[in-house]
Structure 1
Amino acid sequence: MWPQGAIFVTLPHLGPILVWLFAHHRMPGWCEGPRTKLWCPPHKVLLLVWTTIYSVMGYASYLVWKDLGGGFGQLLALPLGLYAVQLAISWAVLILFFAVHSPGLALLHLLLLYGLVVSTALTWRPINKLAALLLLPYLAWLTVTTAIAYHLWMHSLCPEHQHQPTGEKRN
């Protein structure tokens, strides 16, 4: 597996690292305060889950790459091309959530991402069933993330439903 496998496992983490480097000053406190809901996980949980998901996705992509003979031939164009596109959209979602604070745009990207991940899994299944199955936790987490984005978006559209500290009046 070494060194190609390590590269494939590490590659998905580049996006979140770059997002953090360029937008870490905008991240603290977001999804906290008045927007905090029981269903909105703490940042540490988000970090742990996304790290695990990205590592598993990277390993799954390595399995597909290896089973198709390695290199970067024409056989790899569709299965790894879909993976690359969904990975880029996944990184865009992180930017939209944590740097831009736009849950509506993040929600649209998440819906697109869900379809891309399903397409990737269906494309990978004939090549490597384990790789396709390894995308199932990602789909489950995307469901959770989509629900969070939807609720944050709805609260941004309907501020009268947001929790306000006791003693403050609404305008």
Structure 2
Amino acid sequence: MQLQGPVFVGVPLLGPILIWMFTHQLSSRCEDERKLPWCPPHKVILLVWATIYSVMGYASYLVWKDLGGGFRWPLALPLGLYSFQLTLSWTFLMLFLAVDSPGLPINKLAALLLLPYLAWLTVTTAITYRLWRDSLCPAYEPLPSKESG
């Protein structure tokens, strides 16, 4: 494995580490009196997360290496999708860990008022993706239907 391998393996672990530092806690949902009977111990959860994030990082390294390394155009889509997925994963992890943290959210109504913005971002992302895809494949045209010919 090249020097880049450990970097690709380590980067996904930065999110959980920074989130933990930000929240100063790990969720105690599996430790208190409301514990679910099937909830694993805290250390198991940490081990599984660390393993999953490390494996995801190694997978991204393999894709990066197989496509020639560097940061050239063929890597834009797979590493872009991976980065997007990793960001979503970190976001959900932060919500899971920080939901018990005092002050998050400061105002529930304010958080709910941001939902239309999130919906609008989803729509504009879909439009942007479609425009990007069509610009890469200008010859892509839907096949004419039998009714129009």
TM over 0.5: yes
CA RMSD of superposed structures (Å): 1.6
1:3 aligns with 2:10: no
> How many aligned positions are there?
101
SS of alignment partner, residue 33 of structure 2: helix
Tell me which structure has the larger Cα radius of gyration. Answer: 2
Q: What is the TM-score of this pair, normalised by structure 1?
A: 0.55
Counterpart-to-counterpart distance in 2, 1:10 and 1:33: 31
Counterpart-to-counterpart distance in 2, 1:49 and 1:17: 14
What is aligned with 1:41? 40
Aligned 1:2-21 pairs, distance under 5 A: 2-21=2-21
1:87 aligns with 2:58: no
What is aligned with 2:125? none
Cα offset, 1:40, TM superposition: 1.4
Aligned 1:159-170 pairs, distance under 5 A: none
Q: Which structure has more helix as a fraction of its residues?
A: 1
Aligned 1:57-76 pairs, distance under 5 A: 57-76=56-75
| AA at the equivalent of 1:73 | R
- What are the ranges of 5 or more consecutive residues in structure 2 without an aligned counterpart? 105-149
Q: What is the TM-score of this pair, normalised by structure 2?
A: 0.63
Moved over 4 A (4+): none
Cα offset, 1:19, TM superposition: 0.6
| AA at the equivalent of 1:19 | I
SS of alignment partner, residue 48 of structure 1: helix
What is aligned with 2:146? none
